[in-house]
Amino acid sequence: MADQPKQGMENFYYENPELSDEAKAILKNYSGIPETEQTAHVRAVRDKAWQLYRYPCIGRFAFITFSIGQSEHYHDALQRLKSGQNLLDLACCFGQDLRKLVIDGAPPENVVGSELEQGFIDLGYELFNDSPEKLKAKFIAADFFDNSGSPAPGLEEHSYDMIHAASFFHLFGWDEQVAAWDRALKMLKPKPGSMIFGRQTAVARATVLKHPATRSGEMYRHDLESFRDLVAGVAEKSGIEVDIEVHYVDGRLGAMSAEGWKMVRFCVSLK
């Protein structure tokens, strides 16, 4: 586990989660956790995760909002999974978005979660009170930037029809984002319609941020134009033709919006 400066993250540590009706229903019906115990349960797992690494989305319980379901591409993705296509949830943390897909009817063998920290994958089983026997989806613990030798099984080129990535690319500086997008685009099956979709924080005017949640200490925060420029540049370099959709969305960002942060949703699909 990488060391992380602990200062500057207090604003992102919320006392209690606000559980939506959807979250309550999933915790009750899928996980068997009575409503009276849900808040304490979610908080207890969050506190263990906070000790592993202090990401804002963990501190402020963003994981329990199942952000994939708010994507305009969610229903398309779900139908494609039901018809046999596959999806990687890149940097899946607890695997909440992957579980939402399975709960909504996606065949579990068609969804894969990849995540740097095995500890977050393990806490996902605790959060949702399930097990590898109950949830047949595959999880891969691997560093997405690892290019020392052959990729971890499941992270090879041309493996996926769809990749979902929420709050991942924004963690890094420009050059690392270029490397991550290059790898992700090459992991798509090379055919029209293969896509990478998700959401991340953004700003009105692109900037480099110092942020204690990053390992390098620096994040490149996009506006719409810089996002398009980065992805288009990566795709062009590899001779991949893409459509790039990206737009700002309203979000419940609390402490984040106080710092001028916004949220974008994006979908990059192969032509």
Q: Is 19 in the site for ligand SAM (CB under 6 A)?
A: no
Stretch that binds ligand SAM, among 104-112, 143-151, 217-225, 259-267 (CB under 6 A): 143-151
Alpha-carbon gap, residue 241 to 220, rounded angstroms = 24
Q: Are 104 and 128 in contact (CB under 8 A)?
A: no
Buried-exposed string 228-242: b where 16+ CB fall within 10 A, e elsewhere: bebbeebbeeeebeb
The contact pattern for ligand SAM, residues 242-261, with x = CB under 6 A and - = no contact, is: --------------------
Using CB under 6 A, pick the residue from 12, 61, 128, 144 that binds ligand SAM.
144
Alpha-carbon gap, residue 48 to 179, rounded angstroms = 31
As a whole number of Å, the end-to-end CA separation of the chain is: 39
Using CB under 6 A, pick the residue from 91, 98, 195, 242 that binds ligand SAM.
91
Q: Are 87 and 101 in contact (CB under 8 A)?
A: yes
Using CB under 6 A, pick the residue from 61, 120, 197, 266 that binds ligand SAM.
120
Size of the site for ligand SAM (CB under 6 A): 19
Q: Is 76 in the site for ligand SAM (CB under 6 A)?
A: no
The minimum distance between CB 90 and ligand SAM, in angstroms, equals 7
Helix (H, G, I), strand (E, B) or coil at 103: helix
Binding site for ligand SAM (CB under 6 A): 55, 57, 62-63, 67, 91-93, 115-117, 120, 143-145, 166-168, 171
